[in-house]
Structure formats: structure tokens, C-alpha cells
Amino acid sequence: MYSREEVKQLKQLFWTKFGQFMALHMSADDEKVNWINYKTGVKHLYFKMDADKKLAKIAIVWSHPDAGIRALMAEQFLQYKALLHATLGEEWAWDMDAYDEYGKPVCQIYKTLADHSIFKEAEWGELIAFFKPRMIALDEFWSSAKYAFDMFK
């Protein structure tokens, strides 16, 4: 069992290494990008990566406090579902009635990698191999689709 401080340090080390590794890659628009804290330019819309002792997850999450706006954003993503899955090269799960860690309603499109732990340094390569191509594909998708979300800025 890790202490709270050890958990924080291990996670920070992993994400620092991942960020350094990803810094070698430019965005689809040929710009420098912070892959860990990806900026979509749309308030309440995030590309999130997370890993814990059991699994890794990458997701598109929108958390607007207004349920009607979340629904409109969901409709917009549904319009781009074929492009999203084609760009990703795989289908992701869609959950329009999820809740974040604070109990606030969110919608998400996500992919998980089970049975991998951020606390096992020997598995970091597999975690990076999971996150890297998907984050790059999300960026490529967003480069094409972001204009359809301008109304939510």
C-alpha cells in the first residue's frame, strides 16, 4: 500500500515522463501542444487521461452545468461519430449519463485499458502505448471537428 504522498509522486512522475515523451510530437495543426492538459478551446469540454491501480482511461468529457447544453454537445458529437471512430481506428464507449469524481453530471466518450497499474513502473510502456496513439488521434479529430463546437465557446 502506498501513502498518499507516494501515490502523488508516482502519478506525477508517470505524467511528467509521458509529457516529455509526447513533447516530441506536434499537433495535427503543426503546433506545440500540452498533451497532458489538452486545450480544446471550448469551456467544459476536455480530453482527459487517467490511470490508477487497475486501469487506464482516455476520454472526451463535457461537463457543462446545463443539461440542455450537454445534450446539444452530445448531438454534435453524434454528428461526428463516424469521423471520430474512423480517426481513432476503433470504437469507443459512449456514456451520456455519467458522473465525475465529485458527483457532477458529465457526458463522455471513452476507451479503457484494464489490468494495468500506474503504480507498476514496468507497465508504463504499455500505458504510454495506450495513451499516445489515441491522444494523437483525438487531436487529429479535433483539428477537423472543432469548428462545429464554436457555438459552445
Q: Please report where in the chains the cell 454528428 appears, as a residue.
A: 79
Provide the domain limits for residue 68. 4-152
Instruction: Please name the helix (run of DSSP H) or strand (run of DSSP E) that holds residue 33, with its range, or none.
Output: none
Residue 2 pLDDT = 81
Contact in structure between 80 and 139 (CB atoms under 8 Å): no
Closest listed residue to residue 71, CA positions, set 109, 48, 97, 104: 97
If one counts the domains in the chain, the total is: 1
DSSP structure class, residue 41: S
Given this model, what pLDDT does residue 131 score?
98
**What tens-digit pLDDT sequence spans the chain (153 residues)?**
788 998 999 999 999 999 999 999 999 999 999 999 999 999 999 999 999 999 999 999 999 999 999 999 999 999 999 999 999 999 999 999 999 999 999 999 999 999 999 999 999 999 999 999 999 999 999 999 999 999 999
Q: What is the per-residue pLDDT across 7-36, written as a single tens digit (0 to 9) for each? A: 999 999 999 999 999 999 999 999 999 999
Tally of CA atoms within 13 A in the half-sphere of 142 that contains its CB: 20
CATH of the domain at 93: 3.30.1460
Chain centroid to Cα 145, Å, comes to 16
